[in-house]
Amino acid sequence: MKEFERARWRCRRGLLELDIVLQRFMDQYYRQLDQHGLEQFERLLSLPDNDLWDLITARQVTTDDNLQQIVELLQKS
């Protein structure tokens, strides 16, 4: 549970739209992620807000296949 709360706190960002998408992701998908998925989500959270938003809105495409699964889940949120 501590990991969930820490991740939820990290999802608080400067862009309202990003906050909304990340909170929906947390509610819908976070608890279903395996260790690899959790690590990839943490990597995405380390990105600057605008870069993360560009990935979610498909303005930018990730070249890292490992991140693609999480990006697709974020796009569904």
pLDDT surpasses 70 at 1: no
**Alpha carbons 57 and 59: distance in angstroms, whole number:** 6
Greatest pairwise CA separation for the chain in angstroms: 33
Q: Which pair of tokens denotes residue 12?
A: 């608080």
Q: Is the whole-model pTM more than 0.75?
A: yes
- pLDDT tens profile 32-74: 999 999 999 999 999 999 999 999 998 888 878 888 888 988 9
**Alpha carbons 23 and 63: distance in angstroms, whole number:** 25
